[in-house]
Amino acid sequence: MLENGSAVILAGASSAPYPQGRLVTSTAKTHTLFISGVTSRRSDGSLGGVKTASDGTVTLSVEEQTSAALGNIDAIIKQATKGKGGLNNVIDVTVFLTNWARITPG
């Protein structure tokens, strides 16, 4: 497990990698990760589930965005635990959905 307060920076194609999550362990004996601020952003800076047409029209897919964000969380856990953990170890998740009108028609 990484040290308390360590930033997890996922390797990627970006020339300026950014922290994907910050780890806070409650004690040395309990291996609890608190991960926040994870989005569908890929290592190249693009967003999973967001497609821009040549005319500038943006199409959003909540399914693809969710899948990409969960993939990022899984990668953070795997890196922080040196491959010993993953999404199957997640106990609680709080999700903030923005622009609900674009997600649910009508």
pTM of this structure: 0.72
What is the rounded (10 degree) CA torsion for 103, 22, 35, 41? 30
Identify the pLDDT of residue 88.
Answer: 94
**For residues 45 and 32, what is the distance between their CA atoms, to the nearest angstrom?**
28
Q: Taking the mean position of all CA atoms in its chain, how far away is CA 1?
A: 19
In 3-state terms, the chain is what percent helix, strand and coil (to 5)? 25, 10, 65
Weakly modelled stretches of the chain, pLDDT under 50: 13-17, 19
CATH 3.30.1330 for domain 7-103, yes or no, is: yes
Identify the pLDDT of residue 7.
Answer: 62
Identify the pLDDT of residue 23.
Answer: 55
